[in-house]
Structure 1
């Protein structure tokens, strides 16, 4: 009986660790996110954005919570809160997933959220300038 209990505990812990290790890391990720309106989809204001300010927002300062809480420190969709979300948060490090996501599409999703996912809208707590800073940080530092 004792061996069976130990084996069960080990099996459960192994499954938990394996699930946590791979949460959000799927590449490519399948998404059904609606395309941003044409004028927004094709916008790109990252040239004037500040990646350093974007990093501060991504890692600590965005409200109601920092992006890394769900997307993870390195952007793989494996943040502590993201592990509970279905679908998993966007994995910015997956080139196959991100290759067709324009800066304007990213801006639109951050500002308005993404229905059917855990991505909340940040348009009321971040200025457009701040959102472009986050987009620049993600594109330059996490999508390598």
Structure 2
């Protein structure tokens, strides 16, 4: 039973890592002013796999992580709740946690959109 749990956990982590590393598709023409949805990026680029759909840290991969992913509904956040702090956490990751850096994986616009969405999930907007 323990081997099966370890296998399933590793498979889930591998799927999440694969989803996180995908480069954005270039559907829009260069210079097109398309609005980026933070919710869409959050769901499609893998944030949801750890943080969960409602940002409560209860995603399918998040259950296996130590420490658990951030529950955005918590009143205090270790790295700050203002937009600049959330952007920095997404760009650089958080040492000692499963939060990887996304600078270079997501565009600056995607990072800002996700940061705004995360703050909204936590009632910080």
Looking at structure 1, the residues matched to 87 and 105 of structure 2 have their Cα atoms a distance apart, in angstroms, of 14
Matched, 1:89 2:73: no
Work out which of the two has the higher radius of gyration on C-alpha atoms and give 1 or 2: 1
Cα drift, residue 124 of structure 1: 1.4
Matched, 1:106 2:86: yes
Q: Aligned with 2:56: secondary structure?
A: coil
Matched, 1:59 2:43: yes
Higher relative contact order (CA 8 A, sep 6+): 1
Contact 2:37 2:113 in 1 (8 A): yes
The TM-score normalised by the length of structure 1 is 0.57
Cα drift, residue 143 of structure 1: 1.2
Structure 1 or 2: more helix by fraction: 1
Task: Report the aligned-residue RMSD.
Answer: 1.9
- Name the counterpart of 1:76: 56
The TM-score normalised by the length of structure 2 is 0.65
Taking a change above 3 Å as real, the CA distance of residues 57 and 79 of structure 1, as seen in their structure-2 partners, is: same
Deviations 1:5-36 (A, max 9, x none): xxxxxxxxxxxxxxxxxxxxxxxxxxxxxxxx
Residues matched between the structures, number: 89
